[in-house]
Amino acid sequence: MRRGLAFARIALTGVALWLVALWVDAGDVLARLTELKPSWVALALAISVVQVLILAWRWRFTALRLGLDISLRDALGEYYLGILINQVLPGGVMGDVTRAWRHAHATALTGPAVRAVILERVSAQVVMVLAALVSLAFLPGLAVWAAAGALVSGGVAIAALRHEADDATALGRIRQDARRACLAPDAVALQAASAVAVVGSYIAVFVVAARAVGVSAPLGAVLPLVAPVLMTMLIPVTVAGWGVREAAAAALWGMVGLAPGEGAAVSVAYGLLVLASSAPGALVLMRTLSAGRDRRARPHPE
């Protein structure tokens, strides 16, 4: 079942990209990608390094609040590995699952390790949702959709707050740990600031990708498009959001009077930059595989 779902997501990725290629001028997209400006590429990769540092720190901070120990160095390596896995496997969440599982294996505390990853990821996604809603409100013809999205999000939040769950349940434990790791007076400001910084870095890389492919539209015209496009990557139907993200970028670019192919080119460039920035995860993967081979090669005591 899972293997079939994975193959379906891979196939859907290919179909989505093929449909986008039919929609836009694929030749122009390829031309823009072959002329990526090295200075902008270097800037995007530099931003990505800072981004992963903040992400690793947030995870470590959240884990420590839940009584789990992990060094910043280990958190950084595990985060790079998780990003790489998310980029190459269907669904976009297996990297986070792997990160939680490996931390649980190292600490022998499965529940807190899993909840630390959930809380760290969700807190940043909440900020991304807010950024997307604010952005949509500034786009012509989409303010109604932004208001509808805000109402739906608000309704879900109210329902979650009113849901009475005992602390012995899974939801209750998540809520209890959220109060300790995210909402406590000495944690909430750091969590909020770091989440804003992470989302800001995502948006910055996308904007830099736009400049790297030669998009000359004013920043004020491009910026409101970014968060809604990135939100589509949370839909777990393709590999790392490929295809869905490009379709959303092309559609939004067209809605504001820009060339849809330009939006698709920016989205493809962004995806390639994120994939390139995950390269350090390959080193962690090779080290992990080598350590596993060494353990299997050691003679077992009788």
Distance (Å, rounded) from C-alpha 299 to C-alpha 49? 40
74 in a domain, yes or no? yes
* DSSP 8-state secondary structure symbol assigned to residue 239: B
The reply to whether 68 falls in a domain is yes
Give dist(CA 156, CA 224) in Å, integer. 24
Within a domain: residue 141? yes
CA atoms within 13 A on the CB side of 142: 20
Nearest alpha-carbon partner for 241 in 254, 252, 228: 228
Q: What is the mean pLDDT of each run of 10 residues along the chain (302 residues)?
A: 79 91 91 93 97 97 93 95 92 87 89 92 89 80 47 44 51 86 93 95 96 92 91 85 92 90 95 95 88 62 52
* Nearest by Cα to 82 from 91, 172, 206: 91
Cβ-proximal residues to 115 (8 Å cutoff; 6+ apart), any chain:
66, 173, 174, 177
What pLDDT, on the 0 to 100 scale, is given for residue 243? 92
pLDDT at 277: 95
Residue 215 lies in a domain: yes
Separation of alpha carbons 58 and 211, rounded Å: 29
Which pLDDT does position 150 carry in this prediction? 44
Domain that residue 219 falls in: 2-288
The answer to whether 113 and 103 are in contact (CB under 8 A) is yes
Q: Give the chain's length.
A: 302
Residue 112 in domain = yes
Q: Work out how many domains the chain is built from and give that number.
A: 1
CA dist., res. 163 & res. 171, Å (int) = 10
Residue 102, domain member (yes or no): yes
- Whole-angstrom Cα distance, residue 58 to residue 63? 8
Domain membership of residue 293 (yes or no) is: no
d(CA 129, CA 250): 20
